[in-house]
Amino acid sequence: MKRPAESFANGIPQADALRATQLALLQPSDRDGIRDILGQVWYANLLLWVNGRIPVSRLYENMETACRLLISHNEA
């Protein structure tokens, strides 16, 4: 099993490229909204992690879930 740092280093660049491509297909207002929500999810999870309430692996899982749900919602 990969450690969270390895998963981050190996998985995020590909995911970022895919998400960037998907985001480029959306209306500018939708892109801005998704970025705003992801920023809020990131900040909230970062606070939870810094305060020892969640492990870093959960932070990555939460971000992945938020990205997947926001992008798939806009594809429908």
The pTM of this model reads 0.67
- Is the model's pLDDT at 67 over the cut of 80? yes
pLDDT, one tens digit per residue, over 2-30 is 444 444 444 555 556 666 777 788 888 98
Q: Would you say residue 20 lies in a domain?
A: no
Q: Would you say residue 60 lies in a domain?
A: yes
pLDDT, one tens digit per residue, over 27-63 is 889 889 988 999 999 999 999 999 999 999 999 999 9
Q: Would you say residue 15 lies in a domain?
A: no
Provide the residue range defining the domain that includes 69. Answer: 35-76
- Between 74 and 7, name the one with better pLDDT: 74
Q: Would you say residue 69 lies in a domain?
A: yes
Q: Would you say residue 10 lies in a domain?
A: no
Q: Would you say residue 59 lies in a domain?
A: yes
For the chain, helix, strand, coil in percent to 5 are 85, 0, 15
Burial 27-65 (b: 16+ CB within 10 A, else e): eeeeeeebeeebeebeeebeeebeeeebeeeebbebbee
